[in-house]
Structure 1
Amino acid sequence: MDEDTRRAIARRAKALTLIMPTEEEDAAITKAALSDPDNPPMTDTELAKLQPARRPRGRPALEATKVATSIRFDNVVLDSFKALGPGWQTRINEILLQYLIETRQLSRFHATVQAGAKEQRKADEFLVVARDTVQAKEKVKRHLLASGREEAARERVITVDVGNAAVRDLPVIM
């Protein structure tokens, strides 16, 4: 190892060496900090309220996450979507979803919200994309709560698997 390399390594090691104050120096520094009227120490309550300054990386988590996949498109199809600018993958997803809705090919449930225990009066109706009746009912309740309809969310929800059957003109809950 030549002399210049050895010196460079020694400089890096020295720069990385932590120099700790003695107990007396530490006490003097702490005393000076505590007596500073412009910068009082934080209380335990204030320290407990501290949160990270940055949010986690990436987009916020969504209730319905998307799945990465690989699919082959004709060049003209892919180039046309990309030419429309950012969001081309989202547009493809929306068009495919709309196709499934229009051709009645979604795995979905017809959900009816019953108003009143003895009354068999419908308060609302939805098409719900879900894996089973339990998830369909949960999604309806969350949708009602999110739209500010707490009273309706407390009502009974009846779900029927409609598979590919035609149920038109109902709002779709994903």
Structure 2
Amino acid sequence: MAKVDAHAITAEEYDEIPELTDAMMARAVSGDGLNLLKRGRGRPRIDQPKRQITLRLDADVIEAMRASGPGWQIRANEALKKRFQR
């Protein structure tokens, strides 16, 4: 880190920095960045997050679920929820 801190920026290096355009400024978010820090990264937290488990199923069951197309895991979850929800 000391090597980075010891570097003095030269006039030529400033020439490498692109100019800020009006389009860039229009997309800019004003503030001190605290709201970005508070927001965090990734998806927002949900009240009942899903949990990953290991479940052994017959191969033909898995193939049939996958054959139903994209989103098959969600549909499998919904079918289990419908069957076992109180």
TM-score (norm 2): 0.53
Give matches, 1:92-111, under 5 Å.
92-101=76-85, 106=86
How many residue pairs align between the two structures?
Answer: 63
Counterpart CA distance in 1 for 2:57 and 2:63 is: 10
Structure of higher CA gyration radius = 1
Aligned-partner SS, 1:77: helix
Please state how far the C-alpha of 1:60 moved relative to its aligned partner: 2.9
* Amino acid in the other structure paired with 1:84: S
**Structure having the larger proportion of residues in helix:** 2
Q: Give the equivalent residue in structure 2 for 1:80.
A: 64
Relative to 1, partners in 2 of residues 1:56 and 1:93: Cα closer, same or farther, differing over 3 Å?
same
Please state how far the C-alpha of 1:83 moved relative to its aligned partner: 1.2
Answering whether residue 7 of structure 2 is matched by residue 19 of structure 1, we say: yes
- Unaligned 5+ segments in structure 1 are 1-15, 26-45, 107-174
Give matches, 1:38-77, under 5 Å.
46-48=30-32, 51-52=35-36, 56-57=41-42, 59-77=43-61
Relative to 1, partners in 2 of residues 1:51 and 1:91: Cα closer, same or farther, differing over 3 Å?
same
Counterpart CA distance in 2 for 1:85 and 1:63 is: 28
Aligned-partner SS, 2:51: coil
TM-score (norm 1): 0.29
Aligned-partner SS, 1:69: coil
Percent sequence identity is 28
Please state how far the C-alpha of 1:69 moved relative to its aligned partner: 0.3
Which fold has the larger relative contact order, with Cα–Cα distance below 8 Å and residues 6 or more apart in sequence? 1
User: Alpha carbon RMSD of aligned pairs, Å?
Assistant: 3.5
Counterpart CA distance in 2 for 1:80 and 1:18 is: 62
- Unaligned 5+ segments in structure 2 are 12-29
Aligned-partner SS, 1:65: coil
Aligned structure 1 segments of 4 or more residues deviating by more than 2 angstroms: 16-19, 46-52
